[in-house]
Structures are given as C-alpha cells and as structure tokens.
Amino acid sequence: MKIIITGSTGNISKPLTVMLVEAGHQVSVITSNDEKTDEIKSLGAEPLVGSVEDADFLQEAFKWADAVYTMIPPNMASADWKKFIYGVGDNYVKAIKASGVKKVINLSAIGAHLPQGGGLSKL
C-alpha cells in the first residue's frame, strides 16, 4: 500500500512511518525541512519536501496514495494560529478530493489528552 504521512519526523509521524515501513508499505513522508530528508530516508521512506500550506503540492503528493495520514503541524510563529489551522485543513480537503485518495486518517484535537476543554474553541 502507498501511504503518505504528514508531520515529518514528529512524535507520532516518525514511529508510524517506522511501523508502516516494517509492515512492507511504500511510505512517503511530507516535510517542509530539507534537512529532514536523510532522516526520512534512513527510516526507509521517501521524503516529499513541501508545505502543507500549499494545496497544489499536497494534491500532487496525494495523487498516487492509497491512504493518507494527516495532522496539523505546530506553527507557533503564525500570527493567527486559527487561520493557519483552518487553512491547512482546507488544503487537505482540496487535495484529498482532487487526488481521489479513499483512505484518510486524521490526527485531531488540541488538548486531546485533557478530560474536557480541548479543541479549537478554547484557542
């Protein structure tokens, strides 16, 4: 199975990449940082350098995928974090629809570890 992972080599994306590669899947990992390409290759995955803020890049990346794992990467430098989150989410929707990928797993919720009060409404 051809699987695209967003989140580069983060706390969930990296172990997920390792697990999927070990299970025999063809995995590509999206990163916005050129310096992460060697690490991604060392995991047995193909690095795709681009931004989740670029809907055209995502559409091309998702084009041949059987499945996609999406998440919103942290961007503490953004002046409007909600706008960033919703923008990336919109880009994912556009790319998923345009590419025709059928299986999507989305990591969701800020504050998912909390018993209550998580999500964007608290931002």
CATH number, position 31? 3.40.50.720
What's the domain count of the chain? 1
- Give the per-residue pLDDT at 121: 58
Cα 66 from Cα 113, distance rounded (Å): 29
> Which residues in the chain come in under a pLDDT of 50?
122-123
Residue 112 pLDDT? 66
H or E element that contains 60? helix 55-62
Residue whose C-alpha is closest to residue 2's, from 79, 68, 51: 68
Q: How far is CA 42 from CA 12, 29, 58, in A?
A: 17, 12, 23
Structural domain of 36: 2-122
What is the pTM (predicted TM-score) of this model?
Answer: 0.88
Residue 82's pLDDT is 85
Residue 4 is encoded by which pair of tokens?
Answer: 């695209």
- Check residue 120 and give its pLDDT: 62
